Amino acid sequence: MQIKRARKLLNYLSYIFLFIFIFSVIYGNDQIVLVSFTIFFIIMYISGVYLDRKKDYEVIDWYIIRTVSRNISLLSAIWILIHIIFAGKFVYGILPLVLLFVFISFWLLAELNIMFKRKKPPQIFLSYAHADQSIVKELYQKLNEQGYKPWLDINDLKPGTNWNDEIYKAINQSDFFIVCLSKNSINREGVIQEEIDMAMNIWKKRNADDIFLIPLLLEKCDTPSKLNFIQWVNLEKFEYLVHTINEAWKNRK
């Protein structure tokens, strides 16, 4: 949810900065414009980058970086044009032009990253009980044939690595988390329950409107109480699962 709050903060600060910008231009106070540019960029960079201190790596929200860079680039260009039109020249030398170039570069970089993210196949983490390994391996193959990038511990977890850290990292880097439920898993404490807790904690830090955690019933069974609020799907309805993932990935913001 931190990213969602950061996006709201971005909108509020954009309006505040626009008001400061208009006020500064009307009263000819260019120093305020320069200071507000600097403060605005610092605040937006902090809100655009979420640092997971426990695992010590960064996740950049390129949508925030794109909006920030685009807004500042456009306002910088308007500010420069106002000086050229009304003063006949721009009195601050090359520095504002360099800043404009830098922000446009950030803007283009964000656009490219967003474009690449949309084109790359979504990574899907598969959580399961060991007793269901054979069924889940078939599911892994089916997802792979659909063009997805499924993540399965027996295939993707390297020997000698820290299990807890690598599992958390894989879930955090995944676009979807499918928990495979059966009579073997729902009443058993252990790895699958830990993975569900990890996934739910990671989901809370993301946009709550995005589909992320998908309970998949391998057979007729009850769902854990912690997942009661999430709609599940049967393995027999694999085509519907694929449709859901495709629609969610297409609409992902």
pLDDT digits 0-9 by tens, 62-87: 666 777 777 777 777 776 777 677 66
**Domain shared by 12 and 115, yes or no:** yes
Location of structure tokens 């449709």:
243
**Domain shared by 162 and 64, yes or no:** no
Pairwise CA distance, residues 50 & 37, whole Å: 21
**Domain shared by 135 and 110, yes or no:** no
Domain that holds residue 80: 2-119
Q: What six digits make up the tokens of 111?
A: 């656009």
Count the domains in the chain: 2
Q: Where are the beta strands (DSSP E) in 101-248?
A: 123-127, 149-151, 176-181, 213-217, 233-234
Location of structure tokens 């990292």:
169
Domain boundary among 119, 147, 172: 119
**Domain shared by 74 and 141, yes or no:** no
Say yes or no to pLDDT of 60 above 60. no
Residues with Cβ within 8 Å of 129's Cβ and at least 6 positions away in sequence, in order, are 180, 182, 184, 185, 188, 190, 192
Higher confidence at residue 65 or residue 47?
A: 65
Half-sphere exposure for 253 (CA within 13 Å, toward CB): 9
> What confidence score (pLDDT) does residue 253 get?
54
- CB neighbourhood size of 21 (10 A): 20
**Domain shared by 8 and 103, yes or no:** yes
* pLDDT tens column, 161-216: 898 889 999 999 899 999 999 988 876 667 788 999 999 998 888 777 789 999 99
Say yes or no to pLDDT of 125 above 70. yes
> What confidence score (pLDDT) does residue 42 get?
63
Domain boundary among 66, 95, 119: 119
- CB neighbourhood size of 99 (10 A): 18
Domain boundary among 119, 134, 149: 119
Residues with Cβ within 8 Å of 167's Cβ and at least 6 positions away in sequence, in order, are 153, 157, 194, 195, 198
Say yes or no to pLDDT of 50 above 50. no
Say yes or no to pLDDT of 243 above 90. yes
Pairwise CA distance, residues 137 & 130, whole Å: 11
Say yes or no to pLDDT of 59 above 50. no
> What confidence score (pLDDT) does residue 54 get?
37
